[in-house]
Amino acid sequence: MDRDGGRSPREIIESYVERFPDLKAGVSIGADFCYDIDVKIRYAPIEDNEFHCELYRSEEKAELTKSVLKQLAKNCEVYMKDENRDYSEQ
């Protein structure tokens, strides 16, 4: 999972397609919604992705419950990959 880090949705999608060429779709969920349902966002940059983050139920990194996962799924925006677009073009 990535945070937007000030990037546009298009920039985020292009970065995912570059890293995961077989990707068919992605989702977006707002940080405010996560905070509203008491989901913690932990920024966790990794070597090849400064925007990487993780979601937890508490500061102790408790896993998300099924009910929280359902809430996230119901409140996300889905982005489908356009098979006719060449994402390698900048």
pLDDT-based confidence at residue 84 (cuts at 50, 70, 90) = low
Domain chopping of the chain, boundaries: 9-80
Closest by CA to 39, choosing from 74, 64, 14, is 64
Please provide the average confidence, as pLDDT, over all residues in the chain.
87
Mean pLDDT of 55-81: 90
* Amino acid occupying residue 6: G
Residues 9-44 pLDDT 10s: 888 888 888 888 888 888 899 999 999 999 999 999
Please state the pTM of the whole predicted model.
0.78
What share of the chain has pLDDT > 90, as a percent?
51
Residue 73 backbone dihedrals phi, psi, to 5 degrees: -65, -40
